[in-house]
Structure 1
Amino acid sequence: MRVNNLPLAPELLRELQREGPVHRIRTRVGHEAWLVTGYEEVRALLDDPRLGRSHPDPDNAARIGDSALFGGPLGDFDTEHAEHARMRAQLQPHFSPKRMRALRPRVEALADGLLDDLAEHGSPADLQAAVATPLPILVICELLGVPYEDREQFRAWSQAAGNTRDNELSLWGLTELYEYGRRLVRRKRDDPGDDVITRLLDAPDTDDGEIAMRGMNLLFAGHETTVVQIGVGALQLLANRDQWEALRAGPGLIPRAIDEIMRAPDTNIGGGGIPRYARTRFELGGVAIEAGELVLLSVGAANHDEKEFADPDRFDVGRQAAGHLTFGHGSRYCIGAPLAKIELEVVFSRLIPRFPGMRLAVPVEELRHHEDSLTGGLIELPVIF
């Protein structure tokens, strides 16, 4: 099936899945691409060396949107895979499960403080502003050594960088974020701390510009996506009251619930999927994909593939959903996944028993979402308790 004008409604994605795993589509900016919707195919391609984020002719490559951060090719075609492996080798030790577990008591203390403030403020409240947004920012600031008082600045730059419709705004935000990173690295050289950016200064064969880029990429990814997931997860639970009550009665289900929260939303990064470019010609699902063509990996569709997840549109905290692809797969599995899972587990293991009667203050259909954002998410989440 040929489809125009991403993003696609969930119903159309399901129809595409029934017809096959790969489809010719047109992106939001009118460029042709392949959309992959099958779970097995998306999972395999997430870690397939025949695909990459770079392109041999980036100026003429198809684009998914206008974001400078995610709209088109990134990196050097000749060195991309080697650079990616080097990046992971540098960062993975700082985000190991063991190191993240050691951080858990601090995440718990920060979450308790925010919930104390929420209780003191009283009902009604905006759960997005009170908990979902500040917790990941507090955590990533402490981890990286970024001053929390700078949060309004770097969050504004992050949101601008992730704009999917305004390339000039996106480029401005990205530039400002990286310049901020350079200033921060210079401060760390003069006044080191016990944080990831300071430790990266000791990494071999790195310069300040590279460390600034690494740090700001972590800052962006380390708070934006978790902000979204906490808000969307709370909405899923509040909108499905039986699931909220299931966790209230059985807190041991929280780890499974976190996987289901990651799987359930119909999210498609950038409005259509994760962009990759074919580095060579290959066949997929009976079609030939030519070198240089844009391939969009629809994680949202894959996470709702009924061949992998029975009754996929049902939100079920008891489901075994650990195979979801929201964090990626293989060498492209998100380095920050252990931290994100800890933050989500801490929030919901405390929020539900602390505010057992919490309810949505407005109908679900009245909730507003960020429409032009790379990461999406709720603008606000009004609740009463």
Structure 2
Amino acid sequence: MPAQDGMPALPFPQPDPMAPPPQLLELAEHEPVARVRTQAGDEAWLVSRYEYVKRLLNDDRLGMSHRDPERAARISNSSLFSGPSPEYTFDEEFAKHAEMRRMLSPFFAAKQIRKLQPRVERLAAELVREMVKATPPVDLHTQFSWPFPVLVICELLGVPYEDRERFRALSYTIADLRDRDASMAALMELIAYMADLAKRKRARPADDVMSELCRTQDDDTVAMRCAGLLFAAHETTTGRIDMGVTMLLGHEGQWSRLVAEPELIDAAVEEIVRAAPIVSIGGLVRYARSDIELGGVRIREGDAVLLSLVAANRDPAEFPGGDRFDIGCPRTGVHVAFGHGRRYCIGAPLARVELRAALAELITTLPGLRLAVPPGELRIRTSKLSGGLEGLPVIW
């Protein structure tokens, strides 16, 4: 939908929850570096071609900080990921980001996550066993997709799971794209909770990430890192579980094929990660640190840039037939759903293990799972940072 000045305005209408917004795909085809109006009313560049997105993900001319953050374009009114990062100054961003990765990467390394895998699988099984006690239709989002990754990240960090309803309320408000004051207040409450928990971990350490971080970091740093991890690790995975199940059930033959051929589960996970149309604010938020020439367009220093991973992962130049969701189709391209290069998501191994465990348990315990409503009746969370679905009613 264009703004009053004729500029494409976010969020783009998404009539089909299983497909990206048509306007996004049109821009990707005809104007892959396009000027758009953000939800906050500011201007930004939307980059949607795979070649460009992949290049910029690993380009030092883009960053999460800004020389003048108070004057930088905002993407939305959420307190997270919708403007320059408050964690980094312009001059220190790369050094501090590298330090953060060195600090956290050991906890999310593939070897460590493999050790966690049996516990992740048991948690998935426990939740599905509880869910099937209810009379369908059941909201899979509420009963499984949301609590499952919360259970996992709480266990990994060492956060009491009994506080999950508090996290649910706080996360929901933090992700609000419209009410900045409420979003910021919820974020501050989550950080304060984490700071108090860090003090308790320091006094009585346990075998968890928070206790390990407390050995080398102050309480404020631990609180900031763990608050961000708690939010990011469950919100993004929840959306992918919801959308993955929806796409498997909504595309004829995909769910039944996975039930019949469970050896396709890893391929299904990658196809879900590649194709899930979770658009939220439009893309990864970055700011140009210097002028960039891209596709015949000059992006000026300080401009906001949105990298559309959703559009890039359907680019026919990289993924022939990429507009189709097909767990049996071999993909020669390498998706950028988890980023690329130095910005590659350290949580990718955990997300893959969670998605695999979720699908494996659902196809085993509920092979007859079906959507309780037509896909077109599912409601997309357009007002929330993490996107995804408001609910996912299912029957079996």
User: Shorter-chain-normalised TM-score: which range?
Assistant: over 0.9
Q: Specify the SS of the correspondent of 2:132.
A: helix
| 1:384 to 2:388 alignment | no
Query: Which stretch shifts more, 139-148 or 322-331?
Result: 322-331
Residue 201 of structure 1 deviates from its aligned partner by: 1.3
| 1:250 to 2:261 alignment | yes
Q: Distance in 2 between matches of 1:150 and 1:210?
A: 21
| 1:125 to 2:138 alignment | yes
**Contact 2:273 2:337 (8 Å CA) reproduced:** yes
**Contact 1:6 1:28 (8 Å CA) reproduced:** yes
Structure 1 residue ranges (4+ consecutive) displaced by more than 6 angstroms after TM superposition:
none
Residue 371 of structure 1 deviates from its aligned partner by: 2.2
| 1:50 to 2:61 alignment | yes
Q: Distance in 2 between matches of 1:89 and 1:210?
A: 14
2:308 to 288, 293, 298: 298
For residue 94 of structure 1, what is the aligned residue in structure 2?
A: 107
Code of the aligned partner of 1:335 = I
| 1:190 to 2:198 alignment | no
Change (3 A) 1:245 1:258: same
Residue 8 of structure 1 deviates from its aligned partner by: 2.5
| 1:29 to 2:33 alignment | no
For residue 18 of structure 2, what is the aligned residue in structure 1?
A: none
Alignment of 1:268-347 (within 5 A): 268-270=279-281, 272-321=282-331, 323-347=334-358
Code of the aligned partner of 1:315 = F
Residue 275 of structure 1 deviates from its aligned partner by: 1.2
Q: Distance in 2 between matches of 1:278 and 1:84?
A: 17
Aligned sequence identity (%): 51
Query: Which stretch shifts more, 169-178 or 22-31?
Result: 22-31
Q: Specify the SS of the correspondent of 1:121.
A: coil
| 1:167 to 2:172 alignment | no
Query: Which stretch shifts more, 14-23 or 90-99?
Result: 14-23
**Contact 1:70 1:162 (8 Å CA) reproduced:** no
Q: Distance in 1 between matches of 2:279 and 2:139?
A: 25
Deviation per CA, 1:267-314, whole angstroms, max 9, x where unpaired?
Answer: 2242x2111100011211111111111111111111111111122221
Query: Which stretch shifts more, 174-183 or 111-120?
Result: 111-120
Residue 325 of structure 1 deviates from its aligned partner by: 1.4
Deviation per CA, 1:349-368, whole angstroms, max 9, x where unpaired?
Answer: 12112211111111112212
| 1:199 to 2:203 alignment | no
Q: Distance in 2 between matches of 1:42 and 1:262?
A: 16
Query: Which stretch shifts more, 331-340 or 312-321?
Result: 312-321
Q: Distance in 2 between matches of 1:149 and 1:257?
A: 32
2:190 to 177, 180, 184: 177
For residue 263 of structure 1, what is the aligned residue in structure 2?
A: 274
| 1:149 to 2:181 alignment | no
Residue 12 of structure 1 deviates from its aligned partner by: 1.7
Q: Distance in 1 between matches of 2:45 and 2:267?
A: 32
Residue 250 of structure 1 deviates from its aligned partner by: 1.0
Q: Specify the SS of the correspondent of 1:277.
A: strand
Q: Specify the SS of the correspondent of 2:162.
A: helix
Q: Distance in 2 between matches of 1:125 and 1:58?
A: 44
Alignment of 1:100-119 (within 5 A): 100-119=113-132
| 1:14 to 2:5 alignment | no
2:7 to 3, 10, 27: 3
Deviation per CA, 1:118-141, whole angstroms, max 9, x where unpaired?
Answer: 222243222112211111011111
For residue 171 of structure 2, what is the aligned residue in structure 1?
A: 158
**Contact 1:267 1:299 (8 Å CA) reproduced:** no
**Contact 1:67 1:162 (8 Å CA) reproduced:** yes
Q: Specify the SS of the correspondent of 2:211.
A: helix
Q: Specify the SS of the correspondent of 1:164.
A: coil
Q: How many residues align?
A: 382
Deviation per CA, 1:160-218, whole angstroms, max 9, x where unpaired?
Answer: 11111111111111111111110110110111111000011123xx3111111111111
Q: Specify the SS of the correspondent of 2:45.
A: strand
Residue 155 of structure 1 deviates from its aligned partner by: 2.2
Q: Distance in 1 between matches of 2:172 and 2:233?
A: 13
Q: Distance in 2 between matches of 1:134 and 1:16?
A: 36
Change (3 A) 1:97 1:239: same
Q: Distance in 2 between matches of 1:290 and 1:371?
A: 29
**Contact 2:280 2:388 (8 Å CA) reproduced:** no
Code of the aligned partner of 1:225 = T
Query: Which stretch shifts more, 116-125 or 216-225?
Result: 116-125
TM-score (norm 2): 0.93
Code of the aligned partner of 1:196 = V
